[in-house]
Amino acid sequence: MSDRYAQLVRSPPGALLARQVGLPRPVALERHRPGDPVIRGRVLLGGARGGRLLGAIAAVLAEARCELATPLEERARSIVAEAGLDAAVFNPDAPGEQRFKALIFDATGIADSTELVALHAFFHGAVRRVEQCGRVIVLGTPFSDCASARQKTAQRALEGFTRSLGKEIGRGATVQLVLVAAGAQDGIASTLRFLLSPRSAYVSGQVVRLGRGKPPKEIDWEHPLRGRTALVTGASRGIGESIASTLAREGAHVVGLDVPALGDDLRRVAARLDGESIELDITVPEAPAAIAERFSGGLDVVVHNAGVTRDRTLAKMPTERWTELMEINLSSQERIDDALLQADALNGNGRIVCVSSMSGIAGNAGQTNYATSKAGVIGRVQALAPELAKRALTINAVAPGFIETQMTAKMPITIREAGRRMNSLSQGGLPIDVAETVAWLAHPASGAINGNVVRVCGQNLLGA
C-alpha cells in the first residue's frame, strides 16, 4: 500500500529531481485526529456585493473558533463583527507575510456574468497565500433558485472556476463549490466544517448542493453521533472497517455486517469499536426481513458499503459474474432499504449513505458490471432523495476514486501508478478519506444534504 514514488519526491534529492523534470510532487495530506480544531490557520472570508451568506458563514466560523481575516470592506467587516469574530484585515495591496489556510468566498451576490470578475478580485491576490493542504470554498446559488437567465448563467459559471482552480492550486489544497438553496443558510455548518477541515483531505473539485434542512438545535461537534445507531455493511475490512471505526469515533453505536466467511475479522472490528456484528449474506432472500427485524428498535444511519468487483471485459464475462455482483452491489441494497422503510425502522433525521464509485460515473474498461451497479447506486440516491425528504431522512452517496487498499495494491504497477497520479492531488486516497466523507453525510446536522453524490477522488481526471 505504500506510495514509494510519493516518499521519493518528498526526500530532498527526489524533490529536486521532480522539480527539474516537472514530475508530480504529491504532498503528504493532513488528516484529522480526534481533538483537532476544525482548521489550523487563518481563514480569509470575502464575498461579492449583494451576497446572502456572509452572516451565516461568519456564524459557523465563530462557533468553530476559526481565526479569521477579511478584506477591508465595510460590509464584510460589519458582518463578521456582528458574529463576534475578531477578524484580521487583508489588503492585497499590502499583503505583508499573510498566509491563509482557507479562502471562503460568498458568490451568491453574482447576478450577471460581468460581475464574475469579483472572483478574480478576491482570489487573484489571495490564492498564492494559501498554505499547504489549504482549502478553497466558493458558495453559490443552485440553478432552481436563480431568478433570471443571467443569474443562472453566472452561477453555473462558478463551477468552471472551482474545477479549474482545483487543478492548478496544488500543494494538497482542495477547491469546492457549495450551492446553497434560498433560505437554507442555517444548514451549512456541518458542510463548511467538513470542507474546511483535514477530514476532507481527498475531496476536491466537488459541487455540493444544500437544500432546506433544519439542523438540530444542540450539536455535539466532538461526538455528533452519540446515542445513534449505525449499520455498516461490509464492515470487516478496508473501507468498510474504516467507516465503522470513524462512525464509532463520532460516537455512534456501530453494528457491522459482513458475510459469515469474514466473521473473524468482523467480530474483531466490532469488539474493538465496542459495537455489534451481524454475520449475514445480504443477498439471501431472508436478509432484508432479518435486518429490518434486527433494527425494529430504531436505526439512525445505514451505510451501504458492501461491494465486490468481478472484472472481465463484457465479451468474456460469464452471466454469474454479472448477476452475483449486481445482487451484492445494488439489488440487495434496494431490498434492504425497502424493508427498513416498510418497517419504519429508520428514526427521524436518519441517514442512508451509499458507496458508489468513480467507475459508476466515468465507466471503466473491464468493469461493465461494476460500473453498471455503481451508476445504479447513483440512480437510487437521486430517485429516493425526494421521497425520503418527506420522512425527514436523507440519502447520499460517496464515490471513491483511487483509494489505497489491498485491492489496489494487487494492481499491475503501471495501472496503479496511473490511478494514483491522475488527479489534482497526485496521489491515492486512504480508506479514512472515504470514511470521513461518509461521517459528514451521516452527521445529524447534515439534513440539508440530500441526493448528493460526492466524489472522494482527489479530483480525478476520469469522469470529472
Partner 1 sequence: MRKDVRRVAILGGNRIPFARSDSAYAQASNHELLTAALDGLIDRFHLQGERLGEVVAGAVLKHPRDRDLTREAVLSTQLAPETPAYDVQQACGTGLEAVVLVANKIALGQIDAGIAGGADTTSDAPLALNENLRKILLELNRTPSSAGRMQLLTRLRPTQIMPEIPRNAEPRTGLSMGEHCAIMAAEWGVSREEQDELAVRSHHQMAAAYERGFFEDLLTPYLGLERDQNLRPDSTPEKLAKLRPVFGGEQGTMTAGNSTPLSDGAAAVLLASEDWARERDLPILAYLTEAQTAAVDHVHKREGLLMAPAYAMPRMLDRVGLSLGDFDLYEIHEAFAAQVLCTLRAWEDPVFCRERLQRQQPLGAIDRERLNVNGGSLAAGHPFAATGGRIVAALAKALHERGSGRALVSICAAAGQGVVALLESNGNQP
Q: Which is nearer to partner 1, 97 or 218 (CB)?
A: 97
Rounded to a whole number of angstroms, the minimum distance from the CB of residue 135 to partner 1 is 22
Q: Scan for cell 458568490, then name that residue.
A: 107
d(CA 163, CA 464): 9
Rounded to a whole number of angstroms, the minimum distance from the CB of residue 95 to partner 1 is 7
- Which of the residues 347 through 376 are near partner 1 (CB under 8 A)? none
Q: Specify whether the CB–CB gap between 198 and 32 falls below 8 A.
A: yes
314: cell is 463484457
Q: In what order do the strands lie in the sheet with 453-456?
A: 276-279, 253-258, 229-233, 299-304, 346-355, 394-400, 453-456
Q: How far is CA 347 from each of CA 119, 141, 212, 321, rounded to the nearest angstrom?
A: 42, 30, 19, 36
Helix 238-249 to helix 263-272 angle (10° resolution) is 20
Q: Which stretch binds partner 1 (CB under 8 A): 24-32, 35-43, 90-98, 392-400?
A: 90-98
Residues with a known catalytic role:
370
Q: Which is nearer to partner 1, 29 or 61 (CB)?
A: 61
Rounded to a whole number of angstroms, the minimum distance from the CB of residue 44 to partner 1 is 12
Q: Which of 26, 130, 27 is nearest to 422 (CA)?
A: 26
According to CB under 8 A, which one of 55, 64, 67, 98 is a site residue for partner 1?
98
Rounded to a whole number of angstroms, the minimum distance from the CB of residue 68 to partner 1 is 9
Q: Which is nearer to partner 1, 127 or 343 (CB)?
A: 127
| Site for partner 1 contains 77 (CB under 8 A) | yes
Q: Which is nearer to partner 1, 58 or 243 (CB)?
A: 58
Q: Specify whether the CB–CB gap between 446 and 216 falls below 8 A.
A: no
Distance of CA 13 to the CA centre of its chain: 35
Which ranges in 295-405 belong to alpha helices (H)? 319-326, 332-342, 358-362, 368-389
Q: Which is nearer to partner 1, 75 or 171 (CB)?
A: 75
Q: Which is nearer to partner 1, 77 or 312 (CB)?
A: 77
According to CB under 8 A, which one of 4, 33, 93, 319 is a site residue for partner 1?
93
Rounded to a whole number of angstroms, the minimum distance from the CB of residue 86 to partner 1 is 4
Q: Which is nearer to partner 1, 122 or 402 (CB)?
A: 122
Q: Please state the length of the chain.
A: 464
Q: Which is nearer to partner 1, 88 or 261 (CB)?
A: 88
Largest distance between two CA atoms of the chain = 68
| Site for partner 1 contains 105 (CB under 8 A) | no
According to CB under 8 A, which one of 1, 16, 28, 72 is a site residue for partner 1?
72
Q: Taking the CB of residue 287, how many other CB atoms lie within 10 A of it?
A: 18
| Site for partner 1 contains 121 (CB under 8 A) | no
d(CA 442, CA 444): 6
DSSP line for 228-282: -EEEEETTTSHHHHHHHHHHHHTT-EEEEEE-GGGHHHHHHHHHHTT-EEEE--T
| Site for partner 1 contains 261 (CB under 8 A) | no
| Site for partner 1 contains 80 (CB under 8 A) | yes
Residue type, 135: R
Rounded to a whole number of angstroms, the minimum distance from the CB of residue 98 to partner 1 is 7
437: cell is 466523507
According to CB under 8 A, which one of 1, 19, 37, 91 is a site residue for partner 1?
91
Rounded to a whole number of angstroms, the minimum distance from the CB of residue 96 to partner 1 is 3
Q: Which is nearer to partner 1, 64 or 389 (CB)?
A: 64
Rounded to a whole number of angstroms, the minimum distance from the CB of residue 127 to partner 1 is 17
According to CB under 8 A, which one of 16, 36, 49, 78 is a site residue for partner 1?
78
| Site for partner 1 contains 99 (CB under 8 A) | no
Q: Can you tell me whether residue 120 is helix, strand or coil?
A: helix
| Site for partner 1 contains 86 (CB under 8 A) | yes
| Site for partner 1 contains 90 (CB under 8 A) | yes
d(CA 381, CA 81): 40
Site size toward partner 1 (CB under 8 A) is 22
According to CB under 8 A, which one of 89, 147, 365, 383 is a site residue for partner 1?
89
- Please provide residue 232's backbone torsions phi and psi, each rounded to the nearest 5 degrees: -120, 120
Indicate the burial class of 53 (C-beta count within 10 angstroms; 0-12, 13-18, 19 or more): buried
| Site for partner 1 contains 49 (CB under 8 A) | no
- Please provide residue 305's backbone torsions phi and psi, each rounded to the nearest 5 degrees: -100, -25
Rounded to a whole number of angstroms, the minimum distance from the CB of residue 97 to partner 1 is 6
- Positions touching partner 1 (CB under 8 A) are 70, 72, 74, 77-78, 80-82, 84-91, 93-98
